[in-house]
Amino acid sequence: MSGRRVAFLGLGAIGAPMAAHLAADTLTVWNRTRARAEAFGRAHGARVAATPREAAAGAEVVLTCLPTSREVEALVDGPDGLLAGLGRGALFLDCTSGDPAASRRLAARLAGHGIAFADAPVSGGTNGAEAGTLAIMVGADGETFARAHPILALMGSRIEHVGPVGSGHALKAVNNALLAVNILAVGEGLAALVKAGVQARTALEVINASSGRSFVSETLVPERVLTGLWPRTFRLALLEKDVGIARRVLQETGVDGPLLDLAGELFGRARATLGESADHLEAIRLMESEAGVEIRG
Ligand code: NDP
């Protein structure tokens, strides 16, 4: 173990494999469902804290990876909250795909307590988290970025300082909005092609050798839809949340977003129909059932 004292809060689908890369440090973990933290602690030799306060006490770096900024902010206050444990000089890295405005608010509050903050959302999925090859987009001042870099580099292979606090979350939201639009477009197009008598695999092979190819067509649909496996690694509800954040970023900057508005509505409908645990690719299931086809091959 190195001497660095690190705390990680939020051992979900992506948080747990990220935290596993920090186990060589003196790592303390906290999770709302304690059994998950205990299983992680046993597997990786990490200490398990009973409360966010206990996790933060004595930590030089605290990382959070929760569904939204709302849950992050809720963890900060109260007698058992992070602020009650964090000391002056600590570094707070929020790896949640969060909300830029909420992060600016939180950074200002933490600064009043002598705590530095960076938003550091990640991209690369659970596979990238396991491999330690995530792309991490950091919103922070230069000094905070320099402090954050060595710890983020344990979890990612591309650590990019993209601007001031909030800009990491803004970039992540726009990235995921592009993913959402693409899933919908690929799903619609393939449903129509299958109905028109083209085999889904053939259609994808041609698209992937042509100008319409994308990460969705090259990787996600072949691995998850054509196989009928539909693994649950990134919840559709979280992608819908990301589209909502991107729409707010467009509103705040005065940019019209008819495409993202429609994607938000369609993902909202998919979430209402498919529920909170469906995977993001399962939006295509809905299109399949509406079109009366299966995209397999
Ligand atoms: P999960 O739903 O798998 O896990 C959520 C985590 O947050 C769990 O540890 C859960 O605890 C905890 N949590 C939920 N609600 C609360 C609450 N009210 N108070 C305290 N803790 C809470 O999400 P992911 O790990 O997939 O995602 C986490 C973040 O990372 C999200 O912002 C997501 O958008 C982003 N992300 C996810 C990716 C992925 O591939 N999964 C890829 C890139 C970014 P409990 O165990 O008790 O449920």
pLDDT of 2: 58
d(CA 226, CA 296): 4
Tell whether the model's pLDDT for residue 1 goes beyond 60.
no
d(CA 258, CA 265): 11
**Coil, helix or strand for 7?**
strand
User: Ligand 1 site: residues with CB under 6 angstroms?
Assistant: 10-15, 31-33, 36, 65-67, 71, 96-97, 122-123, 125-126, 233-235, 238
Q: Pocket of ligand 1, candidates 31, 66, 94: which has the most ligand atoms within 8 Å of its Cβ, to mutate?
A: 66
Residue 142: CB atoms within 10 A of its CB come to 9
d(CA 274, CA 272): 6
Torsion angle, alpha carbons of 134, 120, 268, 211, to 10: -40
The DSSP annotation for 22-80 comes to: TTTSEEEEE-SSHHHHHHHHHHHT-EE-SSHHHHHTT-SEEEE--SSHHHHHHHHSSTT
CA 32 to ligand 1 center in whole angstroms: 10
* Atom 30 of ligand 1, residue of closest alpha carbon: 96
pLDDT of 25: 80
Write out the catalytic residue numbers. Answer: 172
Per-residue pLDDT tens digits for 246-264? 999 999 999 999 999 999 9
For residues 81 and 67, is the Cβ–Cβ distance under 8 A?
Answer: no
Q: Considering only CA atoms, which of 146, 137, 70 is closest in space to residue 103? A: 70
User: pTM of the full predicted structure?
Assistant: 0.97
Give residue 24's pLDDT band: very low, low, confident or very high (50, 70, 90): confident
Q: Please report which residue ranges of 196-257 form alpha helices under DSSP H.
A: 200-207, 215, 236-253
Per-residue pLDDT tens digits for 199-238? 999 999 999 999 999 999 999 999 999 999 999 999 999 9
Q: Which atom of ligand 1 is nearest to the CA of 98?
A: 32
Residue 82, H or E segment: helix 82-85
